Structure formats: structure tokens, C-alpha cells
Amino acid sequence: MDRHEIEAWMDRRREPEWLRRLRLEAFEAYERTPLPALQEEEWRRTDARRIPLGRVVLNGFRDGALHEEHTSGHPAGVAAYLESGPRRTGAWMETAYSKRGLILTDMELALREHADLMRPHLEGSALSLERDKFAALHAAVWHGGWFLRVPEGERIEQPIWVRSWLPRSHRFAGPRTLIVAERRSRVIVIEERESEPGADAAFHCPGVEIVCGESAEVVVVTIDRRGDDVWDVSHERARVGASASLTWIVLHLGTLARKTFLETSLEGAGAEARMVGLSLLDGVRQSDVVSTFHHGAPRTRGDIVFGGVSRDRGRSVYRGRIVVPRHARGTDSHLTHRVLLMSPDARAESIPILEIEANDVKCKHAASQGAIDPDQLFYLMSRGLPRVEAERTLALAFVEDLIGRAPAGWVQERLRERVAERFNR
Amino acid sequence: MQPLPSDLEAVKSLYKEKYGFSDAEDYVFKARKGLDERGVAEISHLKNEAPWLREYRLKALHVFAKKRMPNWGGDLSAIDFNNVYYYIRPSERSEDNWEDVPEYIKNTFDRLGIPEAEKKGLLGGVGAQYESEVVYHSLQEQWTKQGVLFLDPDSALRDHADLFRRWFGKVIPVADNKFAALNSAVFSGGSFIYVPPGVKVTVPLQAYFRINAKNMGQFERTLIIADRGSDVHYVEGCTAPVYSSDSLHSAVVELVALEGAHIRYTTIQNWSNNVYNLVTKRALAHAGAFVEWVDCNLGSKVTMKYPSVYMVGAGARAEILSLAFAADGQHQDAGGKVVHAAPDTRSTIVSKSISKGRGKTTYRGLVKVERGAERAKSHVQCDALLLDPESVSETFPYIENEEDRATLTHEATVSKVGEDQLFYLMSRGLPQVHAMNLIVRGFAESIVKEMPMEYAVEMNRLIEIQMEGAVG
């Protein structure tokens, strides 16, 4: 892959000049940035050399060929629905919302029709190129993904549902997600990521950006059910404005190996963010998640609960940082990491970190790791449950504590269903 | 109480008055500054060492040169390894009679109050190190009779070479880290303790370390072996004059607790604010053994020190209590490491850090559970107290677990002094400065109370000195 190839690719995609410039800058950063070394603190536990960078291709995605709208079947009880992939198969929206300016569409289409809305966010992207080689790669070659914009003051009661999927033929993907919730808006959006497993390893390098305007109330739920052949390096970032509130729920059920950066910037006074995360690891799957809560303004509140369940040879690493600079007076931030190890070959690492430069703060973190409580197991077995069944029940109970933090109803049901599915495999 | 000075200069002058004075230099031998093979060989020659130890030192020097400076922790960029005196011999030999110690050194230790506790019979033995050498060493007769050894390393090498060599460098190998390598190359002074099986030394053994010269490097080496079922408590303290140029202190401390033994190692680190304190401390705990580190860091410019316990035998226990106080210009990067390498091992780490002014405290810790360490249990508790808006605190705990039947918990909090607490005390008529002192002492209490009375009193006094000028 070289500069000419990228230029030709952008020509085919008929991309605007400002985007071409962004991509070329990013490509330069990609070329000059070395692979993260094992000595780098955040990459000590995932060997970047094993990530199949050779999968990166430019012509693998849609190339902007698709225009026509399909309005095939959509699930009941949602405000809007989108199937996002190399070919569009479904998109639907309650008419009242589309009239008032709610936008939910593929990135390719959004670039043509809503470039003016997206440009400030893409140009001022919080996904820093300097972060690492993969962030630069994503910024250079991203394609696909989706765009959600909730107009100012729009309060949407039913959830918005997005299904992202990739067929077997696509061994590389770099989808970009942009969620913009304008001032005083309210939205719940749930995305399920899926991919069709292939014969050899696939490489995904997605980027997610969530922008919560002043006083917005936003819930973002991601359920990752991609195939067990996927190597994933993902940079996801949320910016939370003054008095806004974000609940970010991340459920990791798929992929072979992941390196995920989840960054939450509390940028306005009184901003609030909650994060609930769960990694379910089985087989030889491994997960390395770095989450950062950056309290960038006074009186911000943060609450993170991250859980891990490892079975078989599953291995999880969780590094959670709370950063409070000098001016962030009145910060209140908590982080909890809990791990359940269900087999002798399972492994887990917890690295909760506090970096505090202000003194008018309340910051706490806690971490615990352990096995299923033998007393509880004995109790269930004495009631006639076979061991496997009893263990599964207790593991689901462990998970339930996390799911209970999601919005009640449809979202919780969906999470429960997906977890049970994975457990029963 | 006497009137309290209320600014940084006053705190400095208080330290200077109590500990920070210096003696004129009247040394038997002072090596030139800098570090090279010739200098290392010279130390070995002066000490009349066996060839194996000379080779060991030279090998360590090469390892030191090859290893990179740590790219984490405190800011060490100002250390100039060529501007350090690596070896200064203040007197001809280590004395076992206080009266024979050179007059000016004796005066120094008298002024620091070191012989007092010994005279009162509160200690089982005392060692005093001045610059690179131990100038005084004594052990009460009742312990020598039972076969306890409390010596400086040179004497141990001379009289108990086999025992020394058997354990020396086994807990902390030369290549462990850059500063362990440095110590292995130029070490001098420190303590060697051997406690025979079943012997319980009921009063603490104490060592006191004093740096006097400008740009001095002190590299003591301590090795403590507690044989089966024995018990020993070692206490160390240290001070240095206040200079405008920096000194370097880089010790290596190795502890071996054999089956069922108990070692408690207490440190009250009160170096002046121009000392880089980069120390490697590690213990091996065999089956049923119990090792405790009580590590208090109040002085120094930058401290990087993480006492650790490797529990290699079933049922071994570890406890690390770490107290750090960083005032303006100080960075205390402290913590602890525990490695569970055997079943039914248990560990606790409690860390209390206090940052004042622009002081910075860092807790850095590791709990590692290796596969097969069934039913291992560990609990870590870190609390940080920030006294001023500019104060900084960091917490970096690492938990690495390979054993599904282990139970590990960790908790950390960071907060400022509670306004309600302060208000309550002041409403009872306490001036703010005393109220703050009380709250900080209360915060440190759980660690200070683990010390013998005399030391607890001393600790509280040191905290008070650090607290001077905390409120205007």
C-alpha cells in the first residue's frame, strides 16, 4: 500500500478535498510510526507483531457504489434500524423522526449527503493519530461504518438498533462510527457487530467516536459478536459536554484477540459518564482492554464497572485509568474490575490506575479476582443441578450484576440473550 | 508546643538543625569521583576480597553499563554517575566498643541520638554506618551465645564466607535492575544477620546509616537469613546533611526466611532532600514463613523502592506496610510486590501516601499469582491523602493471576482532608495546624502503630516535621 494507491482509491470513492487531506496526513503518520514495542506500557501484554497487518487492502469495501434505499423488514419497538455492511440490506426510520432531522445512515452515504454535519467532527477528531500506528492506519483507510445524528432537543424514547456485519470475503475492515447527540437530546443506541468466520485470520481496525452535547443523555450499547477468527485493534472515544450524561455499555463476546482503547473525556463542567464492560473469554481467545476516564472539567462524575469471565484458556487484561488534572475540582470517580476464572488454564490481569493532580476529589478503585464460590456451587448441586449447570448459573449471576446496570427492558433482554447464547456454545 | 515556623525554608532549617549538619572530612581513604573498572577493583583490593567477589563486582559493573535507566517512575535525569564518590572509608575498622569509634563520628551519632536506645537495652544489637563503612557493630551477649550473627559484610565474608556466599545475590541477582547491578559492583557496608534454627531474637537489631560527604554514594548491602522457626526484627534509619548538590543511595537488601521463620524489616527513611534513594529489597519466604516489610519514606528527593516477598513455600505469608510522605520537591515512588508461587500463601499490602505542597506520591505494586498457588489470598489497600491543591498522587497496582482458585482483592482511594473532620476538631478549640497534624497522624496510624514504641514516637515526630508549614 502506498500513497498513489490511496489517492486512486479516494478518486474512486469521489471523496471531498478536506477528507483526502485528512487521510493523507494520517497515512504519513502511519508510515513514520513504528509498531508499538513490547516495552511500551500499554502494549506489554499484546504483541503487536502478531497482528495480521498484511490483511490491509483498500479495494475490499463498497467503493461508494450503492445508492438505493432498501426499506426491508425492521424489528418492532425501535425508533430506527440500520444494517451496515458492504451491501445495504435494511434501513428504516420512524417518519416523524426523519422529518425532524434524525439521521442514521452508512458512512459512505453520509459523506455525500451530510458532509457539512460530519466535517467538523472528522476534522477535529478526538481519535488521535499520535496514539499508535493502528490509530493512524484507521484514520488513513477507514471505510464503512455508520453515522447517527440526534438533533438538538430531540428526545427519542425507543432504542435505535444497528447491525454491522462483514461477510467472509472481507478479511480487512476499518469501519468508522460517529454518533453525535446534540444539546439536550436523548437517545439509546445499540449496535451489534458480527462477522462471518473465514478460513484464515481477519484484521479489523475500527474507530468509534461519540459526541454528547451539552445536557444530552446518551446510552450507547455495543455487543461484539464477531467471528473467532478476528484480530481487532479498536480505538473508541467519547466526549461528554457540560451537564451531559453518557452510559456506555460494552459487551465483548467475539473475536480471537482484541486490543481495545476506550477513552471517555468529560469535557464540560458537571458531565457524567458510566461505563459497564464485560469480556467473556473462552477457547484460546484473549482480550486486552485499556479504558481511560479523563476528568477535564470541574464537578465531573465517573463510574466504571468492568467484568471479565474467562473459561478454557481465555486470557484477559484490563487496564483502567482515572486521570484528574489540576483544574478538575470536585471530581468523583470510581472504578471496579471483577474477574471470574472458571478453569485452571484461564488467566487475568487487572491494572487499575489513578493519576490525581487535584486534591478536592473523591477517587476510588477496586479489583477482585476469584473462582466460583464453592459454597454456592455446593448449594446448587445439593438441589440437584449437575455441576456444569450450576457453574453456568453462577457465572450468569456474576454477569447479571453488570447487565442490571443497563437500561431496563429491551436492552437488558438483548444483552442477556446474547450472553446466554455464548455460554451455551 | 513551641511556635511553628510556617514556610518551606523553616522546614528545611528544622531538618538541617536536627539531622542536616555535616562534619569536616577526615577520612582514611576517599576514592576519586566516577565509576570504572579500576575504581571497582580498588574497592575490592582495599577490602582484601576473594577473587570470586572481585569478579562478581566487575561483572556487575558491565551489567550496570549495559542496562538502560528506567523509563518509568521518578525523574532520574539529573543523576550524574561521574560526579559521585563511590567509596569513602572513614575509619580503619569496625569497632565493637563505642568508645573506640573516632571522636567526630561518635559526636554525630550522639547528636542523632543513636546510642541512647542501645544503652537503655531496647535493642539487641546496633550497627552504625558512616559513608561507605560500618564504624560500629555490637550484639548483646545473650544473642551471640545463641549463635546469632550480626556483622558487617566484610567481617561476614572473612569469618563466615561459606554461609555468606551461599545466599549472597541469590534473592536479587546482579541483572535484576540497573541499580541492583550498581550496588553489586560497588557495595560496601550494610548488615549480615544469621539467626540459627528456633532462636527468637525478642528485641530489634538496629542499623543506622549516615551520609556525610557531598556527592556521596552509599551502597550498603544487607543479607538476613532467618533459619527454621527463628524470629528477628531489623530496624534501619538514615539521615544526611542538606547539600545543594545531590547524593545517591542505592542499597540491596536480601532476606531469606526459611521454613517457619519470621522476619520483620522496618525502615524509617529520612534522607535529606538532596538524596536519590533507589533501593532494591526482596525476601524469599519458604514454607510457613512470614515476612513483614514496614517501609516508611519521609525523606529523599526521589525514592524508588518496592519491597517484595516471593512466597516459594506452602503456607508462607507476606505483609507490606508502606507509608510515604512527599512534601514540596519530593517524589516518593514506593509500594510493594508479592509473588504467590506456592499453595495456601497469603499476602497483605497496605499503603498510605500523603502529598503536601507540590509533593508527589506514587503507589506502584504487583500481586502475582503463579499457576499452582492454589487458595492463595491477597488483599491490597492503598489510600492517598492530598493536603494541597497542587499535590499529586498516582496509583499503579498490577494484578497478574494464573490460578483460578486464588482470591485477590484490591482497593484504593484518593481524597483530601475531610472538611468535616477539620471543622469538628477546630470547633473543639484546636488551631488548624494542630487539627491537620492530628488528621494526618490518624491517617498514618495503622502503619505507625505496628512499630516499637520508641520508633512510633520518632515517626510521629518526623511526620510533624514534614507537616510544618502545611497550613498558613
Distance, CA of A126 to CA of B9 (rounded, Å): 45
| Alpha-carbon distance A306 to nearest alpha carbon in chain B (angstroms) | 14
pLDDT in tens, B200-255: 999 999 999 999 889 999 999 999 999 999 999 999 998 888 888 899 999 999 99
Domain boundaries, chain A: 25-376, 377-425
Are the beta carbons of A15 and A115 closer than 8 angstroms? no
Distance, CA of B256 to CA of A234 (rounded, Å): 46
Distance, CA of A20 to CA of A113 (rounded, Å): 17
Listed residue (A273, A162, A181) closest to A222, CA to CA: A162
pLDDT in tens, B179-208: 999 999 999 999 999 999 999 999 999 999
Mean pLDDT computed over A265-280:
97
- Could you give the 3-state DSSP secondary structure of residue A383? coil
Partners of B405 on chain A (C-beta within 8 Å) are 371
- Could you give the 3-state DSSP secondary structure of residue A179? strand
Which of A343, A350, A371 lies nearest to residue B399, judging by beta carbons? A350
Residue found by looking up cell 488467566 in the block: A347
Mean pLDDT computed over A57-80:
60
Q: Do B412 and A355 touch (CB under 8 A)?
A: no
Partners of B397 on chain A (C-beta within 8 Å) are 350-353, 367
Cell of A92: 428504516
Distance, CA of B321 to CA of B341 (rounded, Å): 21
pLDDT in tens, A233-253: 999 999 999 999 999 999 999
Listed residue (B311, B318, B310, B236) closest to B277, CA to CA: B236
Residues in A whose CB is inside 8 Å of some CB of B read 39, 41, 326, 339, 341-344, 346-371
Mean pLDDT computed over A124-140:
84
Is the pLDDT confidence value at B175 over 80?
A: yes
**Residues in CB range of B414: below 8 A, 6 or more apart:** A354, A356, A361, A362, A363, A364, B383, B384, B386, B393, B395
pLDDT in tens, B266-306: 999 999 999 999 999 999 999 999 999 999 999 999 999 99
For chain B, the helix, strand and coil percentages under 3-state DSSP, each to the nearest 5: 30, 35, 35
What local confidence, expressed as pLDDT, does residue B11 receive?
64
Q: How far is CA A281 from the centre of its chain?
A: 17
pLDDT in tens, B385-394: 999 999 999 9
Burial class (CB in 10 A: 0-12, 13-18, 19+), A106: buried
Which of A364, A365, A370 lies nearest to residue B407, judging by beta carbons? A370
pLDDT in tens, A318-348: 999 999 999 999 999 999 999 999 999 999 9
pLDDT in tens, B392-450: 999 999 999 999 999 999 999 999 988 888 999 999 999 988 899 999 999 999 999 98
What local confidence, expressed as pLDDT, does residue A86 receive?
79
What percentage of residues in chain A have a pLDDT greater than 90? 74
**Phi then psi dihedrals of residue B37, to 5 deg:** -60, -40
Partners of A354 on chain B (C-beta within 8 Å) are 384, 393-395, 412, 414
Mean pLDDT computed over B64-77:
94
Cell of A108: 459512505
Mean pLDDT computed over B15-33:
85
Alpha helices of B19-102 — where are they, by DSSP H?
A: 37-46, 51-66
Which of B395, B406, B409 lies nearest to residue A354, judging by beta carbons? B395
What local confidence, expressed as pLDDT, does residue B458 receive?
84
| Alpha-carbon distance B53 to nearest alpha carbon in chain A (angstroms) | 33
Helix (H) or strand (E) holding B410: strand B407-416
Mean pLDDT computed over A54-62:
71
Read off the pLDDT band of A67 (50, 70, 90). very low
Partners of B399 on chain A (C-beta within 8 Å) are 348-351, 367, 369
Which of B390, B408, B412 lies nearest to residue A369, judging by beta carbons? B408
Mutation to test the A interface, candidates B401, B408, B416, B440, most A Cβ within 10 Å: B401
Q: Do B412 and A366 touch (CB under 8 A)?
A: yes
What local confidence, expressed as pLDDT, does residue B5 receive?
39
pLDDT in tens, A365-391: 999 999 999 999 999 999 999 999 999
What local confidence, expressed as pLDDT, does residue A73 receive?
61
Chain A residue with CA closest to B387: the answer is A359
Listed residue (A143, A58, A141, A74) closest to A109, CA to CA: A143
Question: Counting every residue, how long is chain A?
Answer: 425
Which of B371, B398, B405 lies nearest to residue A371, judging by beta carbons? B405
Is the pLDDT confidence value at A314 over 70?
A: yes
Q: Do B406 and A355 touch (CB under 8 A)?
A: no
pLDDT in tens, B84-138: 999 999 888 888 888 888 888 888 888 887 767 777 777 888 888 999 998 888 8
Is the pLDDT confidence value at B472 over 60?
A: no
Distance, CA of A323 to CA of A422 (rounded, Å): 34
Partner residues linked to B303 by β-bridges: B277, B332
Distance, CA of B376 to CA of B407 (rounded, Å): 6
Distance, CA of B103 to CA of B130 (rounded, Å): 13
Distance, CA of B285 to CA of B55 (rounded, Å): 29
Is the pLDDT confidence value at B357 over 80?
A: yes
Residues in B whose CB is inside 8 Å of some CB of A read 71-72, 371, 384, 386-416
Q: How many CA atoms lie within 13 A of A345 on its CB side?
A: 10
Read off the pLDDT band of B17 (50, 70, 90). confident
Q: Do B395 and A357 touch (CB under 8 A)?
A: no
What local confidence, expressed as pLDDT, does residue A69 receive?
43
Listed residue (A404, A321, A318, A415) closest to A369, CA to CA: A318
**Residues in CB range of B451: below 8 A, 6 or more apart:** B266, B294, B459
Q: Long-range contacts: A64-68, Cβ < 8 Å, 24+? A: A64/A12, A64/A13, A64/A14, A64/A108, A64/A112, A66/A106, A66/A108, A66/A109, A67/A109
